[in-house]
Amino acid sequence: MFATILGPYPRPAGLDDEAALDLALADQLDANLGMLADGRPEPDADPLAAWRVADARARSLAAARGIDPRPVKARVLGPYTAARSPAGTAAARERTTLAAAEAGNLVLRSLLAAGAPVVQVEEDGLTAVGADDEAERRLAADALRRLTDGVEGHLSLSVAGGDPCGAGGGVLYGAPFSSHLFDLIRGPDGWRVAREAPRERGLILGVADCRTEEPDEEAVTLWAARYAASIGARGLERVALAPSAGLEALTREAARRKLADLAGAAVLAGLADAATLREGVDFRALTRTAPPGRAPAPRRRRSR
């Protein structure tokens, strides 16, 4: 059980690219995240070069702290999202999307061959697919199949910014991704498609609310982790925690708190001893009589 981020991280004014990368990686290491990301606002145009630089810097920063290096995932913009534009004809957009998928297939192969432990394919555009738009679902499914065709290694499909329900499980799980990241704050109905995930695939839960600097309810985060682990007897080893989206809109101090809370929750969620877990967490936040994240008011005894 571990915590990670989607990618985007706060960048204080005046920092160049190298300093911003070091800041993002250092904060993730200090928070004890299990998998790191480069913190860029969006995937780099040259994902292989970007991953190599981030991986080298992460190793150097870990060595300076006297800790073991942490894996750094590569980030790639998915073909459906990259080509999604209202301009042009449907036929032209289909050609552009499928061409992007075939080009992306080569990029994925190069990243995995270079040693990237995980490649995160970012397809936020899937949240805009309508449940009744069969043409869009076919295009998205075809693009993801071509993107992943024959690729061996851990590919992670990230869908943030809303509900993935319109795309549906057929699109999300039709291609051989190893794990799936869903934004369960802005897209809470994503739990519906999460329940459809094949048991052998990992679920990365976007449960830390990036819309606010307020701390997240630990009990709610732990419930999400344990519930995801119970789906199809998946197990905690196939579950991870993440922010709901990029952290770039928060202050650095708030982002650091979010990371520390996520990493702490990941450790707690993995405790096998249920008694220890109960002692450390206020589970009053989880009731049907109170909104998520709020402890219920005490019940009054009826007078006899």
User: CB atoms < 10 A from the CB of 62, how many?
Assistant: 17
User: Angle at CA 183, nearest 5°, toward 167 and 270?
Assistant: 120
What backbone phi and psi angles, to 5 degrees, belong to 118? -145, 140
The whole-angstrom separation of Cα 239 and Cα 181 is: 10
Query: Mean pLDDT throughout 67-83?
Result: 96
Query: Mean pLDDT throughout 135-147?
Result: 96
- How much is the pLDDT for 118? 98
Query: Mean pLDDT throughout 185-190?
Result: 93
Q: Are 234 and 228 in contact (CB under 8 A)?
A: yes
Those residues whose C-beta lies under 8 Å from the C-beta of residue 233, and which sit 6 or more positions away, are 199
Question: For residue 264, what are the CA distances in angstroms to 31, 91, 243, 284, 304?
Answer: 9, 48, 13, 19, 46
Q: At what angle do helices 134-148 and 90-114 cross, to 10 degrees?
A: 30
- How much is the pLDDT for 301? 39
Q: Are 38 and 21 in contact (CB under 8 A)?
A: yes
Q: How confident is the model at residue 288 (pLDDT cuts 50, 70, 90)?
A: very low
**pLDDT of 135 above 90:** yes
User: CB atoms < 10 A from the CB of 215, how many?
Assistant: 14
- Partners of residue 77 on adjacent β-strands: 122
- How much is the pLDDT for 91? 86
Q: How confident is the model at residue 33 (pLDDT cuts 50, 70, 90)?
A: very high
Query: Mean pLDDT throughout 164-170?
Result: 94
CATH 3.20.20.210 fits 2-280, yes or no: yes
DSSP H stretches of helix in the chain:
17-30, 47-65, 79-82, 90-114, 134-148, 168-172, 190-194, 218-230, 252-269, 274-280
Q: How confident is the model at residue 84 (pLDDT cuts 50, 70, 90)?
A: confident
- How much is the pLDDT for 75? 98
Q: Are 166 and 124 in contact (CB under 8 A)?
A: no
pLDDT in tens, 7-31: 899 999 999 999 999 999 999 999 9
Reported as type and span, the H/E element at residue 76 is: strand 74-77
Query: Mean pLDDT throughout 134-162?
Result: 96
- How much is the pLDDT for 89? 77
- How much is the pLDDT for 277? 47
* Of 196, 182, 205, 207, nearest in space to 231 by CA: 196
Q: How far is Cα of residue 36 from the mean position of the Cα atoms in its chain?
A: 11
For residue 36, the number of C-alpha atoms closer than 13 Å in the C-beta half-sphere is 30
Q: Which range, 50-59, 92-101, 123-132, 267-276, has the best average confidence (pLDDT)? A: 50-59
pLDDT in tens, 192-214: 999 999 999 999 999 999 999 99
Reading the block at residue 119, the tokens are 């490649």
Those residues whose C-beta lies under 8 Å from the C-beta of residue 26, and which sit 6 or more positions away, are 61
Total-model pTM = 0.88
Those residues whose C-beta lies under 8 Å from the C-beta of residue 44, and which sit 6 or more positions away, are 38, 50, 75
- How much is the pLDDT for 1? 85
User: So where are the chain's domains?
Assistant: 2-280
pLDDT, mean over the chain: 89
